[in-house]
């Protein structure tokens, strides 16, 4: 088991910001198209975090053209170039799946007061 832990610890990213549920983030994803690659930005609210360590993932939700889109990103994936935090959110739940049923202003998350 120590060998597996060493391998997983060596492949963890160092510069990952602290991501919390309810935060609005911009995820820069590297997309391979044939022999070219480009960066695509996906902006939305983090509604869930799962697992931990090397297999940690977070789910980002956004509404585009009236249709809800959710993507699951591995935190330590080489395809995820960087994650920018746009604004911090204040929530009292670990999973924000209830946002799926809400539209418009009801689907907003409160912001953090500084």
Kindly tell me if the per-residue pLDDT of 67 is higher than 90.
Answer: yes
pLDDT value of position 4: 80
Residue 38 has a pLDDT of 97
> Which of the 8 DSSP states describes residue 65?
T
- Whether the pLDDT of residue 11 is over 90: the answer is no
Domain architecture of the chain: domains with CATH: 2-103 (2.30.30.790)
Measured CA to CA, the distance from residue 33 to residue 21 in angstroms comes to 31
Q: How far apart are CA 88 and CA 65, in angstroms?
A: 24
Separation of alpha carbons 46 and 71, rounded Å: 10
Mean pLDDT of 79-92: 95
Range among 5-9, 58-62, 109-113 with highest mean pLDDT value:
58-62
pLDDT at 15: 84
Q: Which residue has the higher pLDDT, 26 or 3?
A: 26
Give me the mean pLDDT over the 85-105 stretch: 95
Are the C-beta atoms of 53 and 113 separated by less than 8 Å? no
For residue 94, the model assigns a pLDDT of 96
Residue 53 has pLDDT above 90, yes or no: no
Asked whether 28 and 83 are in contact (CB, 8 A), the reply is yes
Q: What is the mean pLDDT of the chain?
A: 92
Residue whose C-alpha is closest to residue 84's, from 22, 21, 41, 39: 41
């Amino acid at each position: 088991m120590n060998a597996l832990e060493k391998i997983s610890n060596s492949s963890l990213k160092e510069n990952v910001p602290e991501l919390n549920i309810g935060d609005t983030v911009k995820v820069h994803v590297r997309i391979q198209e044939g022999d070219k690659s480009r960066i695509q930005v996906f902006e939305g609210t983090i509604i869930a975090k799962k697992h931990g360590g090397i297999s940690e993932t977070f789910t980002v939700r956004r509404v585009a053209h009236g249709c809800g889109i959710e993507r699951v990103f591995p935190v330590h994936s080489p395809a995820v170039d960087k994650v920018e935090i746009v604004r911090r959110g204040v929530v009292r739940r670990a999973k924000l799946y209830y946002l799926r049923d809400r539209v418009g202003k009801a689907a907003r998350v409160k912001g953090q007061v500084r």
